[in-house]
Structure 1
């Protein structure tokens, strides 16, 4: 396939075209186009800025040039007083030195013309200072100054003829020195404006060169040559001075404009920052309000849900109608789903609002495992699953409360989705670093779905959205907790074999021992009316001891469930199995419950869960001394 070639202009053709244009044969030149034709045929340059941007740049450049011109004119008129003083001094010196060799009337007329020109220029300065020039009048003021400079230069040039002493080389050298000195001094002022500079230096120095050339003597030719060289040097220096001055003015104004832009941008950034901070504060306030709402709703709704669940369970035991039993079972399942909803939404709200702050300490992983075993033993036993805890690394450094919450979600998920086999919770050393791991023999997770399970409300094994199987927030909470703690979270899963979730936690050291003061009972058994009934007989206290104590944490009369359980245990002289029911389990309460060896349940307590835990405790499995 032939490759298409685009026509290119040969350099020789371009040169010929340019020559044709120069000769005026524009129609004979194929490369020539009129400006309108060029506008139609000029290709678009993708790198060129858009038209509005280019127009804005041109406008800014024009404004900058106007500011520079205005500053030039201001510098000219601003230095006129000093310039006038120098001119008067130079005129006076010339008159005094040449008074005896030049006719008096010539000197006086020349001096009067110089004075008149300066007076006129001072008048212009006065008008200039009282009428601030705008962009339309700046050029006119510059022209007036150039006219004054030209008149001054012509007067000094006329002096080269009127004040020239033919037979006195000394006076000739003096006159040349005065003209060169005045021109050099004026350079610092009129160099700001090239038209004024040329209007002065050419008529001032030119006649001096010509007058010496006319004389024709060797000395005059030497003076003419020196005057010419000095003139060229002054012109070169004046142009350089002008260029440096213009560049300095341009840089100054550009810097000022840049500073204004920066100031404007800073103001905009400050306003944007204030708006962002206000929005952030509003969002944080909304998050706090949401968290407070969930916390209040969580606490206030647990009590009626707890009562509704117990009443539904009691109703199911008293009726024989299958429809009523099915209805009570549905109510119990709904209560259990609501309990999970409250817990998980409250956790999500606290994590999103930033109210949960990690507080890492050194803690024992074995104590944490004992606490979790007490919580999940009954649930695993109800599904005939083995639940094992193994800890090869004893101490970790992290937030034990958040680690416990993370493991609780992982263990709960593992038990929920495992139908046979068991769950293993371990702390193993891998590469010298402790890893907390939760293994299960569940169905496993496909590789293409392993990332989705950490998203909110995603449940792979619950497409029908059965709330009894959870809400799909557990693993999302786990990921957020790990991010808050700064711990690496990993997962390995194989469909049909199970899954393992790993959490990398820094190693810790043994914390200092804290001696706990024994809890003195502050409640008498008689104050437990309505909570637990204990029959006491002096002869058969041990035989009549209850098999299980179930106590609410908050009791009337100034005591609590912990005191009640301690009182009953002391009364009968042995550690009676106990279950503590509470609306909100604080870390201190959970730690005390684990230390004293009884389980705790969060309200609302579902009858089925309570019945399962009661059977588990009465059979002897709930005793911490019987656990391994």
Structure 2
């Protein structure tokens, strides 16, 4: 909670307590007036009582109005003034009674009034304790009036009683400090709980929106795949088969991209994506992006610009590269048919990397939503997943950087310019080579002749993997249960590589299952396949030192990975 909100809540609590106390005080006023009448006369006591009741009623009205205006500009300041003034007037009026009336009262009446006012001050802690200075003034006026009243009497020991009032004021003020601390702590806990409830509510709403949008987007390619399967089952013309196969491949690739993006979001949110910041020169990363996206722009008839100022950055190079690739892909898809620009410049102690285009831009009213999952706005290019900028936001948050959206041309309010602000790196550079993904084709990788063992508890996956590997010329054995593993391996002979799913039936995992096979085939390589997002599982896989493919695995990635073992055998 912001400090001004905290102070406003404290003031609101004090005002509400004081309003309740004002009406209770009317009854107490009548008791005090009755006691005073026996010493000062009915007229003087009645006058004091009328004054007190008027002050209490007026104070209640003023404070109620102050509560209703707390949310208005200048409302808290005015409420604080009204509260302070009405409290001082009330305390002065209360304290005037003993100061004036005590000399004419009997000892018994003075004791009754003293006890009554001491209890009144104690009760006032509930409404004034949250304003320590005002409570101190209140005690000085009320208990000070008591002390003056006792000091004006001629009875022996009266001055000691006056001193006792002062000591009581000190003790009460000390108790109010602890009371205030407890109340403030309770208010802080309540504010935290309210904030958590709002966050949980917002998270639940976001999750619902995410599931609804993901459900729609997942159904689209599945819908197409279902129809295309029917087409392939009845197609006789080779041209029809080829056309349906191409459409089927496109639908599967779209589904794969969507699953991969959702997996990325899941891994980032679960903390599985770790940050390893180093100081590194941006030249190598920018040069590779320049080469790749210049080629893509030329092929699509776009203009590519790259403006680079030599700089070093202190961040994770791999995650930064993913951020920039997502921004560049977003500009290529939705930035119209004109220019795409990548710019790097130093500003103070930051490096600012900007990806811009001259498309329609991102309207001001949409900028708070463009980082939401599945938000697409008014798309001008090919339909996208609506997850690229959501991944960017999460990665930027993980990196501790900040992202700024602006127009490329501020006068016409067109074009999108998205800047990532990164801390500058040190002159003492560490070696940091971003793990840049391959973009070439793996169709020419030779994996024929490899003896491959596939372990998975899903029969459909086993069948599909076997068919793919056989098509590539591999010798394949598949296994879905651990109790037949030895028999399956014996039938295949010497093994080159095992492709193993991590999560298997019965609570077993692929790492445990494959260990026994490696004891009998020490030269066998292992490729782990997983859809896990649990950071502990991913750490365990990383520590194993084995190649890991994350589901959904494309045929290209599988073939490229298997080719590494073919090369090792050669």
**TM class, shorter-length:** 0.3 to 0.5
TM-score by length of 2: 0.41
TM-score by length of 1: 0.38
